[in-house]
């Protein structure tokens, strides 16, 4: 109930732009551009490199449509309708299917994608105070934290350097694909904690699901499962050998799925026709990279000091609050050393490759404008990581007392 209360506030707070566009567009009978990857095209498939979020949306939409079919919305269009001399008020109910149903579907989809946050709270803490603190800290990342805390971060930074006070970072909106990527990584954390072993037959499925969710998640899943081998197998040589096998297999699956998705998406975008017309693949790739560099990479290089400062400003609150939550957990949760160690290892195995991806993403991502949106998953996952590390650090002190 606490999670639902927080999620109902967090979803419209950071996705009001998409919801407003959806309402305006549905009134004109069109689909907004920023949600087009959710609703699919004429064949009913969400064709993009972040296809999983579209599948989730379409599933939720069809389930709700089926539930609506159990209600008397439009009897005129049903089998056995014989007419009535009294007129009909069904047109008022029919508006639900055409107008409100897509809106409700988007809202339910985003809340469903946020549920792994509650699962993390249940997995990383045992007592209610610790779970509530962890849950509140993670969901607070969507609201941008209390203004007093952000003012304190900028005040401290300003005493050290000419620190940029970028309040827009914490008010930046997110896209549904960002929340889908966060959900996948949080579920990956929970799985790494609970999995005693990872069969090589299961690994391709996990990696493929990540690759369908977002472009970088196949790599993160491969690195995380390779790290799992290093801490779960006592024999060091066997652990390294298995880690390399997992990493190689994950790489092959990621590339294969990415090529499949690229083939479908680029064909529909007209790149295949350009290739038939004589343009080489290398020319199109160079064109794409040049576009990314001119619009993003070049400015990231010029403003790299500001971007680094913004990273520190944006990620400091979740790390600080996560550390305080770790103190609460050390006091209320009498966990074993093995369990606490497993938690921070699993969280670190997912956060470390994501941080590396964000560093590499400086070549083609708009960090000068929407860093708050792109770093949102990293900020949320830093809460359980810093909480687990703080709990491990303060366990000897608290237990001795």
> What is the value of pTM for the model shown?
0.85
Q: Which among 401, 396, 390, 395 is positioned nearest to 137, based on CA atoms?
A: 390
Contact 347/385 with Cβ under 8 angstroms?
yes
Contact 198/37 with Cβ under 8 angstroms?
no
Neighbouring C-beta atoms of residue 129, cutoff 10 Å:
14
Range list of H helices, 269-303: 271-276, 281-292, 298-302
pLDDT tens track, the chain, 401 positions: 888 888 888 777 776 666 666 666 655 555 444 444 444 443 344 456 777 887 887 788 888 888 877 776 667 777 888 877 776 665 555 666 666 777 788 788 888 989 999 999 999 888 888 888 899 899 888 877 888 888 998 998 888 888 888 888 887 878 778 888 999 999 999 999 988 889 989 999 999 999 988 888 999 999 999 999 999 888 999 999 999 999 999 999 999 998 887 777 666 656 556 556 666 656 666 666 777 777 777 777 787 888 889 899 999 999 999 998 888 777 777 778 888 889 999 999 999 999 999 888 877 777 888 888 889 999 999 999 999 999 888 877 765 55
Contact 310/297 with Cβ under 8 angstroms?
no
pLDDT of 355-372, one tens digit each? 999 888 877 777 888 888
pLDDT of 20-50, one tens digit each? 666 666 555 554 444 444 444 433 444 567 7
Contact 392/322 with Cβ under 8 angstroms?
no
Contacts of 6 (CB under 8 A, 6+ apart): 135, 136, 139
DSSP helix/strand/coil, 253: helix
Q: Which among 251, 194, 241, 199 is positioned nearest to 220, based on CA atoms?
A: 251
Q: How many CA atoms lie within 13 A of 14 on its CB side?
A: 31
Chain centroid to Cα 140, Å, comes to 15
Task: Report the distance separating Cα 73 and Cα 100, nearest Å.
Answer: 13
Task: Report the distance separating Cα 184 and Cα 31, nearest Å.
Answer: 26
Longest dimension (CA), the chain: 83
Reported as type and span, the H/E element at residue 234 is: none
Neighbouring C-beta atoms of residue 56, cutoff 10 Å:
22
Task: Report the distance separating Cα 308 and Cα 229, nearest Å.
Answer: 33
């Amino acid at each position: 109930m606490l999670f639902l209360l927080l999620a109902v506030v967090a979803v419209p707070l950071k996705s009001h732009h998409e919801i407003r566009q959806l309402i305006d567009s549905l009134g004109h009978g069109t689909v907004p551009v920023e949600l087009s990857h959710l609703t699919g095209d004429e064949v009913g498939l969400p064709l993009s490199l972040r296809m999983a979020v579209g599948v989730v949306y379409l599933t939720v939409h069809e389930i709700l449509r089926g539930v609506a079919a159990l209600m008397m919305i439009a009897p005129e269009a049903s089998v056995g309708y014989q007419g009535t001399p009294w007129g009909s008020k069904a047109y008022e109910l029919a508006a639900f299917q055409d107008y409100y149903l897509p809106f409700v579907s988007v809202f339910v989809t985003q809340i469903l994608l946020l549920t792994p946050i509650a699962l993390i709270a249940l997995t990383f803490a045992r007592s209610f105070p610790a779970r509530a603190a962890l849950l509140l800290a993670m969901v607070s990342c969507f609201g941008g934290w209390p203004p007093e805390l952000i003012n304190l971060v900028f005040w401290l930074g300003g005493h050290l350097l000419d620190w940029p006070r970028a309040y827009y970072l914490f008010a930046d909106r997110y896209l549904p694909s960002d929340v889908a990527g966060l959900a996948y990584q949080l579920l990956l954390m929970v799985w790494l904690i609970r999995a005693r072993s990872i069969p090589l037959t299961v690994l391709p499925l996990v990696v493929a699901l990540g690759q369908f969710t977002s472009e970088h998640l196949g790599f993160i899943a491969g690195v995380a499962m390779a790290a799992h081998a290093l801490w779960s197998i006592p024999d060091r040589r066997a652990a390294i050998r298995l880690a390399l096998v997992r990493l190689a297999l994950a790489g092959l699956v990621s590339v294969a799925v990415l090529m499949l998705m690229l083939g479908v998406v680029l064909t529909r975008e007209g790149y295949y026709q350009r290739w038939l017309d004589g343009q080489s693949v290398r020319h199109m790739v160079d064109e794409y990279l040049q576009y990314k560099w001119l619009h993003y990479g070049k400015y990231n290089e010029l403003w790299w000091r500001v971007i680094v400062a913004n990273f520190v400003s944006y990620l400091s609150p979740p790390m600080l609050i996560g550390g305080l939550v770790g103190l609460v957990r050390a006091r209320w949760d009498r966990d074993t050393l093995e369990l606490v160690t497993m938690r921070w290892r699993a969280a670190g195995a997912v956060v470390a490759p994501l941080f590396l991806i964000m560093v590499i993403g400086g070549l083609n991502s708009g960090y000068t404008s929407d860093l708050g949106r792109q770093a949102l998953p990293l900020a949320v996952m830093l809460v359980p990581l810093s909480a687990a590390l703080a709990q491990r650090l303060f366990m000897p002190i608290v237990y001795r007392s």
